[in-house]
Copies of this chain bind each other. A is one copy, B any other.
Amino acid sequence: MMGMLTLQPMSGYDLKKLTEISIDNFWQENYAQIYPILKQLAEEGLAVKHTEKQEGRPERSIYALTEMGQQALQKWLAEPAEDQVERHELLLKLFFGVQVPLSVCIEHVRSYREKQVRTLETYEQTESAVIKRYEPNTNVPYWRIALNYGRHHTRAVIAWCDETLLALKECEEQEALLATKND
């Protein structure tokens, strides 16, 4: 949230919208987290709040990062990133794939592949719609770095899907062969 507030002072609502079109692929927050965070930032003197009145609309509570807030952010940015606990439900299901028919595993991988293709498309959209629009903004090279991570990752996953589908289909054919022999 502090990072986002460096771009410009914003409301909780704005923060949510902005995260959804920028860092959504690797970081998500929801209102039930954002609003208490903003409250806390203000209490700790890391951000200041001021309210904007609007006609026929609820008030907007705009938060701006303070000098102290920016320092706290920079301190956090310099600390090594903690590695998140990785959990991949698809891989877990495939790991125990022998328990279910081959067609089930194939379908899992196929739909996962489709999702990846859609994700790749959103990256291209982000590239053209968001990043290029802000150019020349000093943030852009860093945004592109994060985006390129997604591209590399997603392309690799699609390659793995193709490889896996081939392997599973080969197993399927061998099963069919055995079945005809047993007839």
Which residues of A line the B interface, CB within 8 A?
Answer: 3, 6, 22-23, 25-28, 70, 73-74, 76-78, 80-100, 104-105, 108, 111-112, 115, 138-139, 141-143, 145-146, 148-149, 152-153, 155-157, 159-160, 163-164, 167-168, 171
Contact = CB atoms under 8 A, between A and B. Distances in A.
A26 B145 contact: no
A150 B97 CA distance: 17
A183 B112 CA distance: 55
B87 A84 contact: yes
Given A26-B92, A81-B89, A94-B145, 12 more contacts: A3-B96, A22-B95, A26-B86, A73-B96, A77-B97, A80-B108, A96-B142, A97-B142, A141-B167, A148-B160, A149-B164, A153-B156
B84 A89 contact: yes
Contacts of A115: 83
